Chains A and B, each alone.
Chain A
């Protein structure tokens, strides 16, 4: 591992101050379950690591603005035990799928959202786009775990976040903070803002990008920015579920997943949102498919029909057409699970 400075801010303002704005120079450390491995492999070589663990406000879960605000440094086991989150079943499904108490105790929700892809070409040092001498390695090489949707551009990796599908289905927003750059502050949330802090709330579905160059990264975060909180609207009448297709019983990454939220009244679906994970460079919103459910009763047949629609645009690569079936199954089972009709 290359050597680096270590900064331990105690407030959000200090965090963005220490973070600076030089691209590639500083990184934010949360649970470290992945970043430390990336630094060991020298895929991430910061000159300064900003450890956020000593900032109390980043670990709180509070009721706020018609919803619940979760600090990005809250660990999976913090969330699993939190009384305010009881109505968000899909989050528990994700935590339950992370089959390692070591990761549950250290891994954070913000770290998961910013998790870099597990694409083995990226991890082998070929960059996010996995190009070698102008050739896309996932196109010509082993692409069994790569994207089956949204893969017509240069990015073939799949988004690694396990919470993102569930959170986007809930309509979550993220609070992105950075240092005030001399211009007027856009801050409007006086409760947690300080004069040196610029904050912006962004719907999570707009947070991820499918990059055209390696330097773009896979999120909209610019140097000097970090996610401080995640906000979820009140659960209301919505019920939710996540279904992850896992290859092994132990600690593993899903091959495909789906996070869904549905509002069922009088046996008929009034609202539905479906987001697939691990199938595309970004979490994949299946809005058209979800619309087919409106006014229907949610049962084995309609869930199957909607799941077919969700993967109907899939364009699998040479070795991953099996993932189309897995993604379809994830959607169908998540829908049935959300209304308690999944029998395993």
Chain B
């Protein structure tokens, strides 16, 4: 679904879903989903700075507290290298904060029960299902989403390899898969195709593009720089 620009009617419902999107993006006649995703990193950073400025003090006070009430609380996060503060209730899940509060809609809410892998993000370098993590739980940890793989100056190998080997059809599982591949290859450079097949068992593609995904994972592993010793 990422291949074609989104039409106007779809666009309004999308931005409506996503909540606080950047107003300049929304009013632009050329706005489409792809540009939106490219721009969202910068937009997020801007939003984050504003939020951070007003809530920094409150966050400092909360840090000492070991029991927080069910009401919204400021939580310090680091998303794609940007420090920011979100005010959320303890029950808010990481996936919802990323998608609804930060407009990082790469991670997908598909099975909602830690089975399919479409919500995979990296937390401190490890692939994690964002649908099973509370925002409170990841305070202070480094969260990396699929949006980080593409910047105006650099395209991550994993993206190039997915394109090269046609590792997707409908694309819904793809953001989760690329993050799982990124995390797996960082931990297991030089992995074989069989290793990759085993390592990526936590992601499901209902279109059945596993052959392309595995080849992309294999290629990515060959050029991966290890960030942690050993592997899962």
Contact = CB atoms under 8 A, between A and B. Distances in A.
Contacts of A18: 66-67
Given A80-B232, A81-B230, A100-B117, A105 B128 contact: yes
- Please classify how large the interface on chain B is, using the bins under 10, 10 to 19, 20 to 34, 35 or more: 35 or more
A320 to B, nearest CB: 22
Given A32-B134, A102-B202, A105-B126, A5 B70 contact: yes
Contacts, number: 117
Nearest to B96: A1
Contacts of B132: 31-33, 36-37, 106
A4 interface: yes
Contacts of B112: 37, 40
B212 interface: no
A171 interface: no
B136 interface: yes
A102 B180 contact: yes
B5 interface: no
A2 B180 contact: no
Nearest to B198: A99
Interface stretch (B43-51, B85-93, B144-152, B161-169): B85-93
Contact of B202 (A1, A77, A81, A100): A100
Nearest to A107: B114
A101 interface: yes
B202 A8 contact: no
A192 to B, nearest CB: 20
Given A34-B114, A36-B134, A77-B232, 7 more contacts: A14-B66, A36-B133, A47-B70, A48-B67, A51-B134, A80-B230, A102-B114
5 contacts: A18-B66, A39-B91, A40-B112, A101-B200, A104-B232
Interface of B: 66-70, 89-91, 93, 112-115, 117, 120, 126-129, 131-134, 136-137, 180, 183-184, 187, 197-204, 230, 232
Interface of A: 1-10, 14, 18, 29, 31-34, 36-37, 39-40, 47-49, 51, 53, 76-77, 80-81, 99-106, 249-251
